[in-house]
Structure 1
């Protein structure tokens, strides 16, 4: 059996899904948390429905996260400050 570490689903060029596979679950001591195929299918169908509120929320959140990680975004700035703190503490 091939083990999966991570799964990304890209719909229309936008990454909508990231799930840890069996390797991550076993490393975290959660072998009983394996998701059934029918649950994955329902989630994927929901994300593929262009009128789905879940899809719209994921798309909005993805765009906000992307802005935060770009040059000048809040995550970008926070990471820069963190690196500066580490360099100053040397």
Structure 2
């Protein structure tokens, strides 16, 4: 198998042409947009997981918690505990 390398004339061409194809401002705007989009996706997934954990911690046994697909990730189905869903009366704060 031959060694793969970039010919010298290709390097000279790319060094001479690439800076003229896009301005630094345009490249900066595109890079900022990519970074902001990535941060948004990470925050969206973090919030989805916090919501899922909060639901699962407070759900009675036998409950199926479903989260649809979102910006941060795929759909999730989680069954809490075993057996039929426990029915409990709503809890009111003391004094009411």
TM bucket (normalised to shorter chain) is 0.3 to 0.5
TM-score (normalised: structure 1)? 0.38
Q: Which has the higher contact order (CA 8 A, sep 6+)?
A: 2
Rg bigger for which structure? 2
